[in-house]
Amino acid sequence: MADVNLLAAWLGILLGSLAGAIQGLFFRREDWLGGYGSWRRRMLRLGHISFFGLGFVNLGFALSVRVLEIDDGIVWSSRLFILGAVTMPLLCYLSSVKDVFRYLFFIPVLSVIAGSAIFLEVLLR
């Protein structure tokens, strides 16, 4: 299971780098997407950084599982961390286009919280 999280981690790092490179082509323009403080621009920045942040969460999970040689009780944590890594940047980018998507942010947030709580419980056994 940890192999999937390791793949998700490095894919997140790659996508974060690509998103940053593309967005970086325009960031110098002060009026781009309504200016630095605009909703659209903030959501794009959050989407870009969430690729990295949740990539590192998946990396930490995968390495912890391997180092500690944990096999039992990790399936749900694994799935929830991947769900968070997919849905957070997706919802950030969708929210930058259509504001109504912001109401779905509970999905990645609760995924990562639940995945962390479940994994912590496994670690404390």
> pLDDT tens, 65-75?
999 999 899 99
Q: What pLDDT score was predicted for residue 28?
A: 73
Q: What is the pLDDT of residue 14?
A: 97
Cβ burial 74-104 (10 Å sphere, 16+ → b, else e)? beebbbbbbbbbbbbbbbbbbbbeeeebeee
Point out the residues of the chain with pLDDT beneath 70.
none
**What is the per-residue pLDDT across 16-25, written as a single tens digit (0 to 9) for each?**
999 999 888 8
- How far is the C-alpha of 98 from the C-alpha of 100, rounded, in Å? 6
Whole-number pLDDT of residue 5: 97
Cut 0.85: pTM above it? yes
- Contact in structure between 85 and 45 (CB atoms under 8 Å): no
